[in-house]
Structure 1
Amino acid sequence: MSLIRIAVSVFILLAVVESAAATRSPSADVQNAIYSNRITIFSKSYCPYCMRAKRIFRDLKENPYVVELDLREDGQEIQSVLLDLVGRNTVPQVFVNGHHVGGSDDTKEALSNGQLHKLLGKNQTESE
């Protein structure tokens, strides 16, 4: 009798896990990426502006979480979520500690005016 209960419990557990995986949405993936990582960049692997944004963080000795939209099946859906979230569907879109920095030019400007260091909790001299 207990073997049947175990089998039923395992079956129910697998059904719940499968259901949870099926209900994951691009919106949940975007929110998770933004709030689970110190730095998140939504990017396309071939985009020169994305490369510049990633280079800014590399020069700061930071390792951002990068979502390469062109390499994902749901990349277009994620880009639509970003449009709803930040009003832009261009890449890159950079987030630091949950704060939307913006695109490549915005990130470069935030670096120049010290805002990026502030968001990262660094002194400007730490990365120079």
Structure 2
Amino acid sequence: MAAAGRRLGLTAVALLAVAASLLGPPVASAAKRVSFVKKAVSSHDIVIFSKSYCPYCKRAKTVFKELKKEPYVVELDQREDGPEIQDALSDMVGRRTVPQVFIHGKHLGGSDDTVEAYESGKLLTLLGIDKKDDL
């Protein structure tokens, strides 16, 4: 009977270890990812969190190409910690989708938001570009 109790105890410990691993990265790791996002956003005028194969991401990047502005692009699918960075973005901006675009430290939004801001002239203002003729 005592051997069965010990086996049950070991099973419970193993189940707890598996459950803990499924809960995700430790808090320190999550804080590290948020810190990475904040540092990238504060260190560059234009930041795009993207996935290299995503057509919406390509669309957003094309807007900046037309403006002759080179964004700092973080390709989440090409990073080992990409999913964790995407989780941090979700916590920060309330969206898990890509792209997520930041201008001068402020969240602009995704692809549709970027195109809309470009077409309305808001993006030019945010970037300090006088008008489309200056391009």
Please classify the TM superposition score into its range, dividing by the shorter chain length: 0.7 to 0.9
Where do 5+ consecutive residues of structure 1 fail to align?
1-21
SS of the equivalent of 1:25 reads helix
Question: 1:99 Cα shift?
Answer: 1.3
Kindly indicate whether residue 61 of structure 2 is the aligned counterpart of residue 40 of structure 1: no
Given candidates 30, 40, 57, the residue that maps to 1:50 is 57
Q: What is the TM-score when the length of structure 1 is the normalising length?
A: 0.79
Tell me which of 68, 71, 80 is aligned to 2:87: 80
Tell me the alpha carbon deviations over residues 71-116 of structure 1, each in whole angstroms, 9 at most, x when there is no partner: 0011001101111111000000000101111000000000011110
Aligned to 1:108: 115
Number of the residue aligned with 2:134: 126
1:123 CA displacement: 1.2
Distance in 2 of aligned mates of 1:126 and 1:49: 26
Task: Report the AA paired with residue 134 of structure 2.
Answer: E
| Shift of residue 48, structure 1, vs aligned partner | 0.3
Query: What TM-score comes out, normalization by structure 2 length?
Result: 0.75
Larger radius of gyration: 2
Structure-2 separation of matches of 1:126 and 1:98? 24
User: How many residues get paired?
Assistant: 106
Amino acid across the alignment from 1:59: E
